[in-house]
């Protein structure tokens, strides 16, 4: 693959116009949309309008007149279009961690009806917040959190399992589970499934209803470009929606919040997954992000985005192997069906304890923004690169690898300034 090949692919790319929806700093190749999506160009004016007009002029009237009250449901329907959920099945609210708490509580409350089901199963390499939330819920419900490796599935699914809680695309490795097959195996064992779509929503096609999943949650500020700390989302299969036990039974999840009655009565629909008053300005930013992904619908939607994402990650893998032979191990699966929208590399021969981190820092200094995730005895340090087909092209991939080649050949990673580890990596 040559630079000309990359330019040629960009010239033929039907999704290339989507790049115009974003404001990116000059000279930046952004490979971290899996951690914080980029700014939609429409967001500053839209948020300013929500502040000055809806808040400033409309004041409290805007809960009705500006559509604030049902914003979580309206945005939920937009997310639903990206994850194979029907209108009225998803709401945008709270953080991923908090939403996980709600759905995992509800799943446990349902599964515990059978006393022999005393295990919540998850992956050892799952994102820590998911494990921390599960740990705390297991403790308070007298259950045990069993951590496994992906290769242990489906064998670990015994009649003791209450809930199988997995992240669809692994945040470290970019490995993707087969949601349909694993859900079927869990159901065959009588267990419920909770899926975290943090690295899936807006990144890979997801078909929640078709997969027959039970519960799902996901993140608004990664591939959905909703802005730092944007609200997350919750989905519950309609077969569970009616008996969903909301542990955070706040007034916004009440059937009639403005009746101000002393007893909790859950809302009949997805409003039940809300807790308290919603962050309207953050939801406003999230809508701008969702619209950037939905803008791909007339161009083939998630299917077209997925095709380009795989082509971009293939190109990055091939160019890295071609131009930095022997330097890196590919941590992300090569198999398309098992790969999300990111590529992770580890060092084949790590020279210093901070080398992987320092390479990422040297790349950032050159305008190529990826990130680093530290390892332990079981997992290597990794360089993590997210590929968002909405605003990345093949020439970007070429240039990113060119910078990586230079960082390695010039040994820029040795500079002391790149070896000071920051609070956020
Ligand atoms: C990013 C991410 C989260 C983030 O949770 P917050 O509550 O938004 O901090 C949770 N789970 C997974 C798997 C993630 O990748």
Q: What is the CATH number of domain 3-30+301-419?
A: 3.90.1150.10
* 218 contact partners, CB below 8 Å, separation of at least 6: 79, 83, 96, 196, 197, 198, 200, 201, 232, 233
Ligand 1 atom closest to the CA of 229, numbered from 1: 8
When pLDDT is averaged across residues 245-255 and rounded to a whole number, the result is 97
Mutational pocket test of ligand 1: of 36, 97, 194, 230, the residue with most ligand atoms within 8 Å of the beta carbon: 97
pLDDT digits (tens, 9 = 90+) for 322-374: 999 999 999 999 999 999 999 999 999 999 999 999 999 999 999 999 999 99
- Report which DSSP code applies to 111: H
Residue whose CA lies nearest to ligand 1 atom number 1:
198
Considering the chain, what is the average pLDDT of its residues?
A: 97
Alpha-carbon distance values, 124 to 132, 150, 285, 378 (Å): 11, 9, 33, 10
Q: Is 251 annotated as a binding residue?
A: yes
pTM of the prediction? 0.98
pLDDT for the residue numbered 389 = 98
Ligand 1 atom closest to the CA of 35, numbered from 1: 1
Residue whose CA lies nearest to ligand 1 atom number 13:
127
Does the pLDDT at position 137 exceed 90?
yes
For residue 30, the SS3 value is strand
pLDDT digits (tens, 9 = 90+) for 30-58: 999 999 999 999 999 999 999 999 999 99
Where are the CATH 3.40.640.10 domain residues in the chain?
A: 45-294
Pocket lining for ligand 1, CB < 6 angstroms: 95-97, 127, 129-130, 167, 171, 196, 198-199, 219, 232
Alpha-carbon distance values, 256 to 92, 266, 271, 316 (Å): 19, 9, 10, 52
pLDDT digits (tens, 9 = 90+) for 370-411: 999 999 888 999 999 999 999 999 999 999 999 999 999 999
pLDDT for the residue numbered 421 = 86
91's tokens:
């709401």
pLDDT for the residue numbered 355 = 97
Q: Is 394 annotated as a binding residue?
A: no
Q: Say which CATH topology domain 45-294 has.
A: 3.40.640
Decide: 215 and 195 in contact? Cβ < 8 Å.
yes
Where are the CATH 3.90.1150.10 domain residues in the chain?
A: 3-30+301-419
The model's confidence at residue 423, banded by pLDDT at 50, 70 and 90, is: confident
CB contact burial 174-208 (16+ within 10 A = b; e otherwise): bbbbebeebbebbbebbbbbbbbbbbbbbbbebeb
Report the share of the chain in percent with pLDDT over 90.
Answer: 97
CA-closest candidate to residue 164, choices 142, 190, 137, 136: 190
pLDDT digits (tens, 9 = 90+) for 268-283: 999 999 999 999 999 9
pLDDT for the residue numbered 112 = 86
- Report which DSSP code applies to 169: B
pLDDT for the residue numbered 424 = 84
pLDDT for the residue numbered 56 = 98
The model's confidence at residue 422, banded by pLDDT at 50, 70 and 90, is: confident
Does the pLDDT at position 167 exceed 90?
yes
- Dist. CA 130 → ligand 1 center (Å): 7
Mutational pocket test of ligand 1: of 37, 93, 128, 171, the residue with most ligand atoms within 8 Å of the beta carbon: 171
Residue whose CA lies nearest to ligand 1 atom number 2:
198
Q: Is 127 annotated as a binding residue?
A: yes
Report the share of the chain in percent with pLDDT over 70.
Answer: 100
Residue whose CA lies nearest to ligand 1 atom number 10:
96
């Amino acid at each position: 693959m040559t630079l000309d090949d990359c330019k040629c692919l960009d010239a033929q790319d039907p999704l290339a116009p989507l790049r115009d929806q974003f404001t990116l700093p000059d000279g930046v190749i952004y490979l971290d949309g899996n951690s914080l999506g980029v700014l939609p160009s429409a967001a500053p004016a839209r948020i300013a309008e929500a502040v000055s007009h809806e808040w400033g002029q409309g004041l409290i009237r805007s809960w009705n007149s500006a559509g604030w009250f049902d914003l979580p449901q309206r945005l939920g329907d937009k997310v639903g279009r990206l994850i194979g959920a029907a209108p009225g099945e998803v709401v945008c609210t709270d953080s991923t961690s908090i939403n996980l708490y709600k759905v995992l509580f509800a799943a446990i409350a349902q599964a515990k009806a059978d006393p022999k089901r005393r295990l919540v199963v998850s992956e050892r390499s799952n994102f820590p917040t998911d494990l921390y939330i599960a740990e705390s819920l297991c403790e308070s419900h007298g259950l045990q959190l069993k951590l496994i490796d992906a290769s242990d599935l489906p064998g670990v699914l015994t009649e003791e399992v209450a809930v199988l809680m997995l992240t669809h695309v692994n945040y470290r490795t970019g490995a993707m589970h087969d949601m349909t097959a694993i859900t079927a195996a869990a159901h065959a064992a009588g267990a419920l499934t909770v899926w975290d779509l943090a690295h899936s929503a807006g990144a890979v096609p997801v078909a929640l209803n078709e997969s027959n999943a039970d519960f799902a949650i996901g993140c608004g500020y990664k591939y959905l470009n909703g802005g730092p700390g944007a609200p997350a989302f919750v989905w519950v299969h309609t077969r569970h929606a009616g008996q969903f036990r909301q542990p955070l039974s706040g007034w916004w999840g009440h059937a009639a919040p403005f009746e101000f009655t002393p007893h909790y009565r859950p809302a009949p629909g997805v409003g039940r997954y809300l807790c308290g008053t919603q962050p309207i300005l953050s939801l406003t930013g999230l809508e701008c992000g969702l619209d950037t992904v939905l803008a791909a619908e007339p161009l083939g939607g998630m299917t077209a985005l997925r095709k380009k994402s795989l082509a971009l990650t293939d190109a990055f893998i091939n160019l890295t192997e071609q131009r930095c032979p022997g330097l890196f191990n590919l941590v992300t699966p090569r198999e398309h069906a098992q790969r999300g929208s990111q590529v992770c590399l580890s060092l084949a021969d790590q020279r210093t304890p901070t080398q992987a981190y320092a390479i990422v820092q040297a790349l950032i200094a050159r305008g190529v923004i990826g990130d680093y995730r530290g390892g332990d005895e079981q997992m290597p340090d990794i360089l993590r690169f997210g590929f968002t087909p909405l605003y990345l092209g093949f020439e970007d991939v070429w240039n990113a690898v060119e910078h990586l080649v230079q960082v390695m050949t010039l040994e820029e990673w040795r500079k002391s300034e790149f070896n000071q580890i920051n609070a956020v990596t």
